[in-house]
C-alpha cells in the first residue's frame, strides 16, 4: 500500500505564530496544508478568512487544501483560488447545485473536492463521483478540531472505495477529524488516501515527528 498523503490542519496551529507553524510544515514530511474555513452558518464556529489564507500562502511551500464549511460557497470559490488554494472542497449539504459548483472549481484550475458529513449517505455522490478529484469524508461533525473520531467512518470509507472502483473514478478519499496514530492504519486499510490531522499533530511536543510517524504507516 502506498504511503498516505498527509494534510495537517492549520486550524490547530498557533495563530499568533502562523509563519513559524507554516515553516515547520514546510520542513516536515507533510504533503498538503489543510485549511478549514467556517462561516458561523453552515457550522456553528467561525475560523479564518481570506487574509489569513493569503498569509499562509505567502510562506507555504506545499499545496493548500481548502475545506469550505460555508453556505453558498460559489460566492467565494474564486477568491480562495486567488488566495492560493490548490484544492477546494465544498460540502454536499451546502450545495443544491453541486455539479455546477464542481465545474466552477475546476474551471479555476483547482482540484475539486466534495466534503460529506457523518450522517450523509454516499448515494449523494453517486452521480458526480467521476467528476471530482477528492472526497473529504468527515469523521467528526464539522465545526471544531479535537473531537472524537466516529467509528462508522470505516464502513463508509470501504463502501466509498467500492463506489469509486466500480465507477472507474480517480477521486482520492480524505479523512477529516479525529485522526491519530491509533486509527490511521485501519483507515488506510479500508481505502483512505489522504489523512487530515489537526490536534494530534499540533498538540505534540514535536509535530514534525508526529507527521513522520503518520507518513510511515502503510
Q: What does the block give as the cell for 34? A: 489543510
Residue 197 as a binder of ligand DX5 (CB under 6 A): the answer is yes
Q: Shortest approach of ligand DX5 to residue 166 CB, angstroms?
A: 28
Termini Cα distance of the chain = 6
Q: What does the block give as the cell for 72? A: 453558498
Among 4, 5, 6, 12, binds ligand DX5 (CB under 6 A): 12
Q: Shortest approach of Zn ion to residue 38 CB, angstroms?
A: 9
Please, which residue, 60 or 179, has the CB nearer to ligand DX5? Answer: 179
Please, which residue, 169 or 180, has the CB nearer to ligand DX5? Answer: 180
Q: What does the block give as the cell for 95? A: 450545495
Q: How many CA atoms lie within 13 A of 96 on its CB side?
A: 1
Do 71 and 94 form a contact (C-beta atoms < 8 A)? yes
Residue 146 as a binder of ligand DX5 (CB under 6 A): the answer is yes
**What CA–CA distance (Å, rounded) separates 218 from 216?**
6
The catalytic residue among 36, 39, 65, 133 is 36
Using the Cα atoms of residue 7, residue 109, residue 101 and residue 13 in order, give the sign of their dihedral: positive
Cα diameter, the chain: 46
Binding stretches for Zn ion (CB under 5 A):
36, 67, 176
Q: Shortest approach of ligand DX5 to residue 149 CB, angstroms?
A: 8
Residue 11 as a binder of ligand DX5 (CB under 6 A): the answer is yes
Do 135 and 171 form a contact (C-beta atoms < 8 A)? yes
Q: Shortest approach of Zn ion to residue 78 CB, angstroms?
A: 20
Segment contacting ligand DX5 by CB under 6 A, of 4-12, 76-84, 118-126, 162-170: 4-12
Among 4, 73, 142, 207, binds ligand DX5 (CB under 6 A): 142
The catalytic residue among 31, 133, 176, 193 is 176
Return the residues of window 59-98 that contact ligand DX5 according to CB under 6 A.
67
176 is catalytic: yes
**What CA–CA distance (Å, rounded) separates 213 from 185?**
11
Q: Which residue is nearest to ligand DX5 (CB)?
A: 198
Residues contacting residue 179 through CB under 8 Å, at least 6 positions apart: 139, 149, 187, 195, 196, 197, 200, 214
Residue 179 as a binder of ligand DX5 (CB under 6 A): the answer is yes
**What CA–CA distance (Å, rounded) separates 113 from 124?**
14
Active site residues: 36, 176
Site for ligand DX5, rule CB under 6 A: 9, 11-12, 34, 36, 67, 140, 142-147, 176-179, 196-200
Amino acid at each position: 500500500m502506498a504511503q498516505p498523503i498527509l494534510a495537517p490542519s492549520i486550524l490547530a496551529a498557533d495563530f499568533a505564530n502562523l509563519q513559524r507553524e507554516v515553516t515547520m510544515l514546510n520542513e516536515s514530511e507533510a504533503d498538503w496544508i489543510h485549511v478549514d474555513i467556517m462561516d458561523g452558518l453552515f457550522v456553528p464556529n467561525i475560523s479564518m478568512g481570506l487574509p489569513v489564507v493569503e498569509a499562509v500562502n505567502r510562506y507555504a511551500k506545499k499545496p493548500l487544501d481548502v475545506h469550505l464549511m460555508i453556505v453558498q460557497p460559489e460566492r467565494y470559490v474564486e477568491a480562495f483560488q486567488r488566495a492560493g488554494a490548490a484544492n477546494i472542497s465544498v460540502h454536499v449539504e451546502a450545495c443544491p447545485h453541486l455539479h455546477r459548483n464542481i465545474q466552477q472549481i475546476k474551471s479555476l484550475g483547482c482540484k475539486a473536492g466534495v466534503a460529506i458529513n457523518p450522517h450523509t449517505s454516499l448515494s449523494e455522490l453517486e452521480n458526480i463521483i467521476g467528476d471530482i478529484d477528492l472526497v473529504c469524508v468527515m469523521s467528526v461533525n464539522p465545526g471544531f478540531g479535537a473531537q472524537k473520531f466516529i467509528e462508522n467512518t470505516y464502513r463508509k470509507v470501504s463502501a466509498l472505495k467500492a463506489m469509486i472502483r466500480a465507477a472507474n473514478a480517480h477521486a482520492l478519499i480524505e479523512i477529516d477529524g479525529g485522526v491519530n496514530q491509533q486509527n490511521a492504519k485501519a483507515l488506510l486499510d479500508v481505502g483512505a488516501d489522504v489523512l487530515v490531522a489537526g490536534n494530534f499533530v499540533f498538540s505534540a511536543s514535536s509535530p514534525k515527528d508526529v507527521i513522520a510517524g503518520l507518513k510511515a504507516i502503510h
